[in-house]
Amino acid sequence: MSVAAGEDLVNMARKLMDGFTLTAMYAVLIAVSIFMILPFIWMLNTSFKLPEDVFGLPPEFIPANPTLINYQYLFQDNSIVRIVGNTFFVAAVGTALRLFFCSLAGYAFAKAPVSESDGTIQLYHRYDADSRRGNPHSRLHSDARVLSD
Amino acid sequence: MYVPLMILLALLLAVILNSPRIRGFRFFRTLIFLPFITNMIAAGFAFQILLNRQYGLINAFLGQLGLDPVPWLETPTGARISLCLLILWAWLGYNMVLMLAGLQTISGEVKDAARVDGANGVQVFFYITIPLMRPVILFSAVLSTIGSFGLFTEVQALTGGGPQNATITPIIKMYGNAFGLFQLGYASAMGYFYFLVILVLTLLQFRYFGRSDNERSGRRRPREHGA
């Protein structure tokens, strides 16, 4: 009887500890997430504030006088077309050139004989061969194998 | 200064997220990784607004708790702490994902074996997880340290190297000399000097855990040793 009660007590304590650990884990996650998301939220609500309200006291989480004027400026500003256009230009031309030249270089790497003198190709082939062998020199790998053997 | 803190936090978060009992894994992982893909200039200005001495949200919050406003960006110590906060904010997610990848290469069977032998959760963590994670932790630490030498955007957007040069970094100094003072020769010399410093650090990295490239690339799956 008393032994069973003792076991119950131990089980209860363990459950309590488990619950506590889980709560603590969630607490850490949520605290860090708030820290991570705060600047994004703050920028969002600042974007709905008038210039004179941005540095208002006390800081407001939900603007008292929300305004769309900042977004209105954004779309009236003609430079936005230029800015977005530049981005698209760089993205398109960059991708096209990269595809062209990198496929040429990739072909060369795949076909070229491995020469002792060429450091770059050597390096590439060595890493490639290592990873195919499963790289016995890798510390992570060898440790894991020792432990699982 | 922030590297050990960042490594510890990243490891803690990765271990928490790796636990099967936590729900919303994707949600939390995305939230914590989000700052890494954010434009650092925008983030720097957002932090400036948040940390503003008079009007910032952080000081308003501290005021609610009855604390005096902290001069985050006006004093050398405050500026250093603010910069650490910004870097932590931006890079924690990246390091956490590295650690998560490392944790997932640890075979569950190793842990199960330890449990069968009577190890409790804490023991499994310190005698199985930490030793097996060592290469990843080292990689993360060295990469963060080398990255610290090259800090530019974070500093420029938040403090500009001030106050009183408290948060100056090699690249900020170089930039100031080259384009502020037009000491192009001096700036070039500095550039080569920092190149040598970083080269030495990188060679040390290669020497001490040479082929970390393979470990990083994730080609090895835990199943390899599982069979």
DSSP B53: T
CA B42 from chain centre, in angstroms, equals 19
pLDDT at residue B188 in the model:
92
Number of structural domains (chain B) is: 1
User: How big is chain A by its Cα radius of gyration, in Å?
Assistant: 30
φ, ψ dihedrals at A60, nearest 5°: -105, 130
pLDDT at residue A3 in the model:
65
Domain annotation covers residue B65: yes
pLDDT digits (tens, 9 = 90+) for B70-93: 888 888 888 888 889 999 999 999
pLDDT at A123 over 60: no
Name the CA dihedral angle for B58, B61, B66, B71, rounded to a multiple of 10 degrees.
10
Sign of CA dihedral A78, A83, A88, A89: positive
pLDDT at residue A125 in the model:
53
pLDDT at residue A149 in the model:
34
Inter-chain touch A40–B32, beta carbons under 8 Å: no
Domain annotation covers residue B227: no
A22, A36, A134: residue with CB nearest B35? A36
Contacts B140 to A, Cβ<8 Å = none
Domain annotation covers residue B163: yes
pLDDT at residue B130 in the model:
86
Domain annotation covers residue B150: yes
Domain with B143 in it: what CATH number?
Answer: 1.10.3720.10
Domain annotation covers residue B29: yes
Mind telling me how many Å the CA of B183 is from chain A's nearest CA?
32
Domain annotation covers residue B194: yes
Domain of residue B82, residue span: 3-222
Residue to mutate among B28, B31, B37, B45, with most A CBs inside 10 A, is: B31
Residue A62 and residue B50: Cα distance in Å, rounded? Answer: 15
pLDDT at residue A119 in the model:
54
pLDDT confidence of A142, banded at 50, 70, 90? very low
Domain annotation covers residue B197: yes
Of B176, B166, B91, B130, nearest to B11 (Cα)?
B130
User: How big is chain B by its Cα radius of gyration, in Å?
Assistant: 21
In chain B the first and final C-alpha atoms are separated, in Å, by 42
More confident residue, B221 or B152: B152
Tokens of B138: 């080292």
pLDDT digits (tens, 9 = 90+) for A80-107: 888 999 999 999 999 999 999 999 988 8
Range B125-135 average pLDDT:
86
Inter-chain touch A58–B60, beta carbons under 8 Å: yes
CB atoms within 10 A of CB B94: 20
pLDDT at residue B49 in the model:
86
